[in-house]
């Protein structure tokens, strides 16, 4: 069977496009520092977050030290605030690895640190767990937190802050 040369050309080009599409999807899913948020955090009673062990230990504005250079913060999302984070910034020391435990006590919210790839949903009943590295800063650096899931009338005002504090200004656990 003879295949016309233009047909061969377009056939080859379509194959190449398919390979390229699969390539970009693969890169988008596993390359460029993209990681799925783990479900290791397990379940949590949305009506009873205060009873949760992680929230009892880590729901503080100053990140709680868990090991050398490692800290934890538990964040409760609710209509229309992050606790902690809204009103009073979450404070973390520079050069640290901070694990965020995130859940919601009412409806589904989002948790995105503006300008970074730190981004998860806050789902009632589920505990999101995410470890974030913070670098070195000469001056305190503030990052915004926004809710990116439509959660009701005050959604667009649901925001918070994370302040990364230079070592010598850090007043939390050393």
Q: Which of residues 74-93 bind ligand CUA (CB under 6 A)?
A: 80
Give the Cα separation of 89 and 75 in Å (integer). 11
Count the site residues for ligand CUA by CB under 6 A.
8
Give the Cα separation of 89 and 111 in Å (integer). 14
In the complex, what is the shortest distance from the CB of residue 111 to ligand CUA, in angstroms, rounded to a whole number?
9
Give the Cα separation of 103 and 74 in Å (integer). 8
Instruction: Compute the C-alpha angle 83/85/89, nearest 5°.
Output: 140
In the complex, what is the shortest distance from the CB of residue 149 to ligand CUA, in angstroms, rounded to a whole number?
5
In the complex, what is the shortest distance from the CB of residue 156 to ligand CUA, in angstroms, rounded to a whole number?
8
149 is a site residue for ligand CUA (CB under 6 A): yes
- Which member of 75, 130, 147, 165 binds ligand CUA (CB under 6 A)? 147
What Å distances lie between residue 93 and 23, 105, 158, 161, CA to CA? Answer: 38, 27, 24, 14
Stretch that binds ligand CUA, among 37-45, 61-69, 87-95, 147-155 (CB under 6 A): 147-155
- Between 32 and 153, CB nearer to ligand CUA: 153
Q: Take residue 154 and report the two structure tokens written for it.
A: 């005050």
- Which member of 52, 109, 126, 128 binds ligand CUA (CB under 6 A)? 109
Half-sphere exposure of 21 (CA within 13 A, CB side): 6
SS3 of residue 106 by DSSP? coil
In the complex, what is the shortest distance from the CB of residue 85 to ligand CUA, in angstroms, rounded to a whole number?
12
- Between 96 and 105, CB nearer to ligand CUA: 105
In the complex, what is the shortest distance from the CB of residue 155 to ligand CUA, in angstroms, rounded to a whole number?
4
- Between 97 and 149, CB nearer to ligand CUA: 149
Using an 8 Å Cβ cutoff, are 128 and 121 in contact?
A: yes
């Amino acid at each position: 069977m003879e295949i016309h040369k233009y047909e061969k050309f377009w056939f080859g080009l379509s194959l190449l496009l398919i390979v390229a599409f699969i390539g970009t999807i693969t890169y988008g899913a596993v390359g460029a520092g993209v990681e799925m948020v783990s479900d290791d955090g397990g379940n949590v009673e949305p009506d009873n977050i205060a009873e949760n062990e992680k929230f009892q230990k880590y729901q503080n504005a100053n990140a709680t030290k868990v090991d050398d250079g490692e800290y934890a913060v538990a964040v409760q999302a609710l209509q229309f605030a992050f606790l902690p984070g809204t009103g009073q910034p979450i404070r973390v020391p520079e050069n640290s690895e901070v694990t965020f435990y995130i859940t919601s006590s009412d409806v589904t919210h989002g948790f995105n640190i503006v300008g970074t790839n730190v981004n998860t949903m806050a789902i009632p009943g589920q505990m999101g767990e995410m470890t974030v590295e913070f670098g070195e800063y000469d001056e305190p650096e503030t990052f915004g937190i926004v809710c990116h899931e439509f959660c009701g009338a005050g959604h667009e005002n649901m925001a918070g802050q994370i302040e990364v504090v230079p070592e010598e200004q850090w007043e939390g656990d050393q």
